[in-house]
Amino acid sequence: MASRSKAKVITLPSPASRRARAEKKERDTGRPVGRMPSGTDVLQKWFEEKGVRQVKLGAVDLDGVWRGKYVSVEKFFSACKSGMGFCDVVFGWDIADELLDNTQVTGWHTGYPDGMCRVDTSSARIIPWEPDTAAFLLDFVTADGSPFEPSPRQLLQKVGARAREMGFVPKFGAEYEFFIFKETPQSLKDKGYTRLTPLTPGMFGYSWLRTSLNAPLVHDIINGCRDFGVELEGFHTETGPGVFEAAIRYDTLEKIADKAVLFKTAVKEICARHGLTACFMAKVDPKLPGCSGHIHQSLWGIKSEENAFHDPDARDGMSTLMRQYIGGQIALMPELTALYWPTVNSYKRSVENTWAPVTATWGRENRTTAVRVIGDSPKSMRLEYRQPGADMNAYVAMAASLAAGLWGIENEVEPPEVCAGNGYASNAPPLPRSLKEAVALLKQSERARQLLGEEFVDHFVRTREWEARQYERAVTNWELERYMELI
């Protein structure tokens, strides 16, 4: 059983040989194994050992926002047996809970019924800052029990299954940059989201001093995330006032995606307990670099358990398969951009000479490109997908980038010439400059629909078209300051 301080998948003790087979099956399928058929008995014992008094259930919507609720222990075990209803309005409103006027999967025409959810009991965690509370993830399903296509977590699982059908175990990692402000939700609103006070002043990247000065908060984030089952490999200040970066330890695709989306809410909740606000917008200040959400990726053979991206006989260590994987990502990058840059604000980050890509490029150890090849050994060979910002929905961005890479392998797509210099000066295909432009490309993309599913792409496009329309109607502070007096 898991200790009180660390979150673990709930499994039963088994003989060594059985455990080894179970671990291999888990690697091959991406799904935890080894639970009893009547798993509620195991869970009840675990609840008693941990002193669980209530359960928090949740799922991530298309905007990457957690939607969930507390339920009683009795209600939880009932849901484990027969599923539970969850109002499907979470697929029918936007990030501000404003009802969409263009959806098909739900709306006034359906009456916003409950959607059916299954509890993923393998996702069991104790919330360290709520030690009597267990947390579980939900999967939306249809009436016949099949995955609900518009759900981001189910999208990721589908693409992960496709990788395993091709003989690969995807291993991913995630990095996030984010601001921390000395603000609360109320002070943000009172200030009109302007003139905010950052946790630390000035530009001081990789500061040994600033992290030590804020050690109580930093330690709470590092230790809290670890005890929440989200182990961080690194944590440091980034260049910018109150800006930090965290690297989440790599794992298999499905696990790391869960950890990536849980990380953001963990940081927000921990910061709130210090009277602070964590912000994962892609671009907070026009004078400062934006906040990235880089995704590290590699494919490993199911049978060989070797890094399929590495070829010891290749001059650069890159296997043909890795080149084709990159080729697919570069080829599909412009038309899939809306999946990586899902908000209006995402595109404010994509500016030359600010560490974010503006063209579909790749290079070795080159941070001016959209895809960066890292390492040269069987253990370290991987790529860093640098296009997404901190506002990405990790389920969607990881699924899209993996799907594009697999498409490249299937179609033996060679990448363009490697970018050896300044990626901002290259003649590579430009990336869309606005959400409206990116959504139009995605809407027209037959390859996106083939790779990700018609129903998911259709619903995602509708939500992003709505988002772009809301921005077009908005009157911004920039317009007021520029035109009110003078025009």
Confidence of residue 133 (pLDDT cuts 50, 70, 90): very high
Tokens of 200: 């630390």
- Provide mean pLDDT across the span 302-314: 94
Q: Do domains 54-147 and 156-480 have the same CATH topology?
A: no
Q: Kindly report the average pLDDT of the chain as a whole number.
A: 92
Confidence of residue 17 (pLDDT cuts 50, 70, 90): very low
**Per residue in 143-186, pLDDT tens?**
999 999 999 999 999 999 999 999 999 999 999 999 999 999 99
Tokens of 11: 């499994």
Looking at domain 156-480, which of 3.40.50.300, 3.40.50.920, 3.30.470.20, 3.30.590.10 is its CATH number? 3.30.590.10
Percent of the chain with pLDDT over 70: 92
- Provide mean pLDDT across the span 314-324: 95
| Cα angle 171-172-175, degrees, rounded to a multiple of 5 | 160
User: Nearest to residue 134, comparing CAs of 35, 230, 4?
Assistant: 4
* pLDDT at residue 71 greater than cutoff 70: yes
**Per residue in 470-479, pLDDT tens?**
999 999 999 9
Fill in the DSSP letter of residue 214. T
* pLDDT at residue 37 greater than cutoff 80: no
User: Nearest to residue 255, comparing CAs of 325, 156, 342?
Assistant: 156
Count CB neighbours of 320 within 10 A: 13
Percent of the chain with pLDDT over 90: 89
Residues 6 or more apart whose Cβ sits within 8 Å of residue 269? 129
* pLDDT at residue 35 greater than cutoff 50: no
Confidence of residue 315 (pLDDT cuts 50, 70, 90): confident
Residues 150/456, Cβ–Cβ less than 8 Å: yes
- Provide mean pLDDT across the span 322-345: 98
- The architecture of the domain spanning 54-147 is Roll (3.10)
Count CB neighbours of 74 within 10 A: 9
* pLDDT at residue 138 greater than cutoff 60: yes
Task: Return the axis-axis angle of helices 435-444 and 454-473, rounded to nearest 10°.
Answer: 160
**Per residue in 236-278, pLDDT tens?**
999 999 999 999 999 999 999 999 999 999 999 999 999 999 9
Residues 261/66, Cβ–Cβ less than 8 Å: yes
Residues 237/205, Cβ–Cβ less than 8 Å: yes
Confidence of residue 11 (pLDDT cuts 50, 70, 90): very low
Enumerate the domain spans of the chain.
54-147, 156-480
pTM strictly above 0.95: no
What's the pLDDT score for residue 6?
41
User: Nearest to residue 282, comparing CAs of 387, 212, 412, 205?
Assistant: 387
What are phi and psi for residue 193, nearest 5 degrees? 60, 25
* pLDDT at residue 5 greater than cutoff 80: no
* pLDDT at residue 98 greater than cutoff 90: yes
Starting at the edge strand found earlier in the chain, the sheet holding 66-72 runs 66-72, 54-60, 130-141, 114-127, 84-87
Q: Lowest mean pLDDT: which of 11-20, 95-104, 386-395?
A: 11-20
* pLDDT at residue 21 greater than cutoff 80: no
